[in-house]
Amino acid sequence: MTVLCSSVNSPEEAVRMLAAGADEAVLAVRGCCFSALREQEPEQLKDIPAFSVLLNRLFFPSESEKIEKTLAALKEMAGLRYIYFSDPAVVPAAAQAGMKEKLIYRPETLLTSRADARWWQNRGIHGVSVSPLLTEQEVRDILPAARCELTMHGHLMMTVTRRPLLSAWAAYRHRDLDMKQKKFLLREEKRQEHMPVFENDAGTMIFTDFIQESFGYVEEFAGADRFYIDGTFLTADLLADTVTVYRQVMTGTAAETAAAGYMEKWGDMPFSTGYYGQKTIR
């Protein structure tokens, strides 16, 4: 049975999304993430009944103790389901902590082939998160190779770098930027759309100008282990409604029927089926 999970910005949002129909909430752990989600200290998560965490940035060798301490704190929490990672250094630390089977490999845009998925699955981890920048056919080709998670909804991360690009731009332009602001917008010179861009201590992340929407693909991707809703930049009301619609479609309601009211309410948002019909990886 496919698990429905949603990333959230706070423990309060986590409780709300679980009530709306999510099986798990996904939260960002402070100092450990390539994510624009609001970061949480591990102890803030202890009362959430079902959650997973993002430890998905790249770590320096000197930070091995940080990984170990974070895993040790999380291990004590009954509600913890899975740990997302992208740095292979997390794997031996999780194995030593007896948590290797909780790992999900999520390198954002990089997992693009059946061979990648199968290789990581054979390492003894729980599963992999497939790049959301693939066509429908490419996703279907990967699904049989591993326990796969698919990002179904939300602003997709297009690129990430350790460089503090916003800070560098601000210094070059002699501007004062409040880096605690939730979102800045970037527009390419030849395009009218605005892409969210976010910087934290881990680096700079740029997201799609559209919101991925996959209501009509739930049945098509029924072989997936997990469906992931990315709540980054979505309001709590929009996110709760999104979770509810996916739950309805996953339990048998026709996608068009389940989404009718949703689209009437939120139809002015920049929804798109993204790259399902256009090849981006060669």
Residue 281 has pLDDT above 70, yes or no: no
Q: Which whole number is the average pLDDT over 170-184?
A: 69
Reported confidence tier of residue 164, pLDDT bands at 50, 70, 90:
confident
At residue 162, the pLDDT reads 75
Alpha-carbon torsion 204, 206, 212, 218, what sign? negative
Residue 28 has pLDDT above 90, yes or no: yes
Per-residue pLDDT of 42-89, as tens digits, reads 999 999 999 999 999 999 999 999 999 999 999 999 999 999 999 999
End-to-end CA distance of the chain: 32
**Looking at 1-5, 10-14, 90-94, 198-202, which range is the least confident one?**
198-202
pLDDT tens for residues 200-246?
Answer: 777 788 888 999 999 999 999 999 999 999 999 999 999 999 999 99
pLDDT of residue 257: 97
What CA–CA distance (Å, rounded) separates 68 from 199? 25
**Mean pLDDT within 79-107:** 97
Q: Which CATH number fits domain 3-156+210-272: 2.60.40.420, 3.40.1160.10, 3.20.20.70, 3.90.230.10?
A: 3.20.20.70
Which residues, in sequence order, are CB contacts of 5 under 8 Å at separation 6+? 22, 23, 24, 25, 26, 52, 149, 226, 227, 228, 229
Query: Does residue 194 carry a pLDDT above 90?
Result: no
Q: Determine the average pLDDT of the residues in 93-120.
A: 95
| Angstrom distances, CA of residue 51 to CA of 101, 248, 266 | 15, 21, 27
- The rounded distance, in Å, linking the Cα atoms of 87 and 104 is 11
Q: What is the pTM of this model?
A: 0.90
The domain spans of the chain are 3-156+210-272, 161-203
> What is the full DSSP assignment across 128-186?
EE--TTS-HHHHHHHGGGS-EEEEEEBPPEEEEESS-HHHHHHHHHT----TTSS-EEE
Q: Confidence band (pLDDT; 50, 70, 90) for 40?
A: very high
Q: How many CA atoms are closer than 13 Å to the CA of 111, on its beta-carbon side?
A: 32
